[in-house]
Structure 1
Amino acid sequence: MLVAAAVCPCPPLLVPELAAGAAPELDAARAACTDGLGVLAAARPDLLVVVGAAEESGHGAYAEGTRGSFRGFGVDIDVRLGRAADEATAPEPSRRPLPSSLAVAAWLLERTGWADAPIEGLAVGEPLTPERCTEMGRDIAARAERVALLVMGDASACRTLKAPGYLDERAEPFDASVAHALGKADVTALKALDTELAHELQASGRAPWQVLAGAAEQAGLSGSLLYDEAPYGVGYLVATWS
């Protein structure tokens, strides 16, 4: 059963070395993410599942110990999802590198010294329907008596003229609706997110948020919104459910 969740953004710029001189601009976001992981640790889960946006269509599982890297962003930093696995006997999913969203999660977990529960990773692709995402969330919640979720995904990328998706007047109200749903732990509202609009606004968090909605259906959790800003024209949200 789901006992806690933390929702965090997944820009590689959360890693200070990638942001270089602009790193202080995301200090508040990093602090909020740290607070979110503290809520997960306080829940004492038997299992932590990290759900993030996939870089390709579909979805994929990642075993504990799977490696990731930020070398593609020009920085010589490697990460690992949780404790090291025996690579010679690791299941096939562990041999694929972590997608960017899960690599950022792995960096956050390493930064906060996570050692509270075993970890599994799941990347979900944009084409997945809300119904499929919800079903996956239900399956996750049933994997252990006490399950925690770390959900990685960004809101719209269209908040300003310099945003990756340019300015779209629909972006701010969309992000506001997501922020309200996450802050209130509103499962119904997350399930009802407009998939086409989310796609047009380049909101990578839509599928991960709907996995959370499925996992939380029977949990009766309360939400708290810790961060809601768009420093680079991309909506970054941090919330906790407990």
Structure 2
Amino acid sequence: MLVAAAICPCPPVLVPEVAAGAAPELDAARAACADALGVLAAARPDLLVVVGPAEQPGRGPFPQGSRGTFRGFGAEVDVQLGGSPEAVGGRELPPSLAVGAWLLERTGWADAPIEGLGVGEPLEAERCVRAGREIAGRAARVAMLVMGDASACRTLKAPGYLDERAAPFDAEAARALGAADIEAIKALDAGLAYQLKAAGRAPWQVLAGAAEDADLAGALLYDDAPYGVCYLVATWS
């Protein structure tokens, strides 16, 4: 059963070495993420599953010890998903899970086994919910670190340019995540999310499926749109 969740944004610029001179602009977001991960640790889970958006070939499950890197973003920073006697080979973590691994390393996570799941952005809501239910059944006490951004269309200089639908979409996502409103998250429009480049929609709906029988309360820790992209941090516990 799901006992806690942390929802965090997943831009590589969250890693200071990637952001370089602009790193201080996201200090508040990093601090909120650290607070959110503290909620996960306090829940003492038997299993932590990190879920984030991914393109092929980064979709599907990743075992503990999987590695990722930010070298493609100009920073010589490598990460590993959880501790392991010897890092496993195989596929490289997608950027969203690499950011999750970086957050966990930064906070010194060593509380439970960790697995990763890369979710395709177009995945239908029903399949996301089903995947979440399966995750919740993996252990007696399951925690989730859910990586994903809201819209990328809040300003003229945003990656998706300015779209007037972005602010209302983000406001509803922030409200639903902050309130742990499972039905509202399930109801987020996948087509609109795709148009607004809101990569968090599918991972959030995986969380909604995992939390169906958990009766968790939510808290919104951060809501801002630097660079025209909406980043949200929330906890469910």
User: 5+ residue gaps in structure 1?
Assistant: none
CA distance in 1, matches of 2:184, 2:230: 18
| Per-residue Cα deviation, 1:52-102 (whole angstroms, up to 9, x for no partner) | 001238931000000000000011110000012545xx5xxx510000000
Q: Which residue is equivalent to 1:241?
A: 236
Note the 1:61-72 alignment, pairs <5 A.
61-72=61-72
Residue 35 of structure 2 aligns with which residue?
Answer: 35
Taking the aligned partners of 1:56 and 1:128, their CA distance within structure 2 comes to 13
2:23 corresponds to which residue?
23
Taking structure 2 as the reference length, the TM-score comes to 0.98
Counterpart of 2:2 in structure 1 is 2
Cα distance between partner residues in 2 of 1:125 and 1:183: 24
- Report what 1:185 is aligned to: 180
Structure 1 runs (4+) deviating above 3 angstroms are none
Query: Any idea what SS the aligned residue of 1:65 has?
Result: coil
Q: Pick closer, same or farther for the CA change 1:85–1:203 going to 2, 3 Å.
A: farther
Show the 5 A alignment for 1:220-239: 220-239=215-234
What does the per-residue CA deviation read over 1:6-39, in whole Å, with 9 as the maximum and x for residues that have no partner?
0000000000111111111100000000000000
Partner Cα distance (1:200, 1:229) in 2: 20
Q: Deviations along 1:117-165, whole A, 9 cap, x unmatched?
A: 0000000001210000000000000000000000000000000000000
CA offsets, 1:180-219, max 9 Å, x none? 0000000000000001000000000000000000000000
Measured in 2, the distance between the counterparts of 1:84 and 1:123 equals 20
| Aligned twin of 1:13 | 13
Instruction: Note if contact 1:156-1:198 (Cα within 8 Å) is conserved in structure 2.
Output: yes
Aligned equivalent of 2:48: 48
Q: TM-score, normalised by structure 1?
A: 0.96
CA–CA distance in 2 between the matches of 1:97 and 1:120? 13
Answer yes or no: is the 8 Å Cα contact 1:10–1:104 preserved in 2.
Answer: yes
Q: How many residues in Structure 1 have an aligned counterpart in Structure 2?
A: 237
User: What is the match of residue 128 of structure 2?
Assistant: 133
Contact 1:58 1:127 (8 Å CA) reproduced = no
For 1:136 and 1:59, how far apart are their aligned partners in 2? 13
Between the aligned partners of 1:63 and 1:57, the Cα distance in structure 2 is 15
SS of residue paired to 2:226: coil
C-alpha change, 1:154 and 1:106, in structure 2 (3 Å) is same
* CA pair 59-154 structure 1, distance change in 2 beyond 3 A: same
List runs of 5+ in structure 2 lacking aligned partners. none
Give the Cα–Cα distance (whole angstroms) in 2 for the partners of residues 57 and 178 of structure 1. 28
SS of structure 2 residue aligned to 1:6: strand
